Amino acid sequence: MLHKDTFRTALQKICVKRKVSNVEDLLSEKTTVKPKPRFVRVNTLKTTTGSVIEVLSKMHKVDKDDMVPDMLVLPPGTDMHKHPLVTDGKVFLQGKASCMVAAALSPKPGWKVIDACAAPGNKTVHLAALMNGEGSIIACELNKERAKTLQHTVRRSGANNIETVIGDFLNIDTNDPSYAEVRAILLDPSCSGSGISTERLDHLLPSYSIGNCMLWR
């Protein structure tokens, strides 16, 4: 933001050089933007990937993701927000980057794991699914309002091995015997998916307004 005026001046110079009157014309000149697919994660605590594919394939083309287990790829623009699979917690609308975090940690059933910055909870319940609901997860969230979202996500997922702690995980007493068996910590403070603007530099454009900021998770 400190260099906002510099960026805008540079953008104006590019528009003059390309002989276009505004940013939209500049973008439409030769740019082809490939639409992003809709990623969804199957909640294996409540259903199976095969069952979800069977339901969704009646309405959409469905592919399995080649990197993240139990992640499905749907056509761009697919609206799943009110689909029963989503409202029942059998499917989570979760970006691929967000899903890769728990998959990279790859916790084993029976482990004790801390999710250090847990809200809104998508990665927390993904951990629970990867652990087959076995073991335990301590989900820490500093913000009380975000903690409510976390608790709602946990309830929707059906996970019963998650303990929510409202507070800073840095204040955990490492001498407390209850943490002695912790095998791993998931730490994603920037939150890979939730609340990130699709176009991260949109606020630098003259046409930018708060209402145009699109969020994904």
Residue numbering of the annotated binding site for S-adenosyl-L-methionine: 117-123, 141, 168, 188
Residues annotated within a binding site? 117-123, 141, 168, 188
As a whole number of angstroms, the distance between CA 189 and CA 5 comes to: 30
Burial class (CB in 10 A: 0-12, 13-18, 19+), 142: middle
Cβ 98 vs Cβ 194: under 8 Å: yes
Residue 130 CB partners (closer than 8 Å, separation 6+): 102, 103, 106, 107
Nearest CA to 157 out of 80, 43, 42 is that of 43
Give the orientation angle of helix 96-105 with respect to helix 122-130, to 10 degrees: 40
Burial class (CB in 10 A: 0-12, 13-18, 19+), 125: buried
- Determine the residue type at 194: S
Q: How far is CA 49 from CA 45, 89, 127, 153, in A?
A: 11, 13, 16, 20
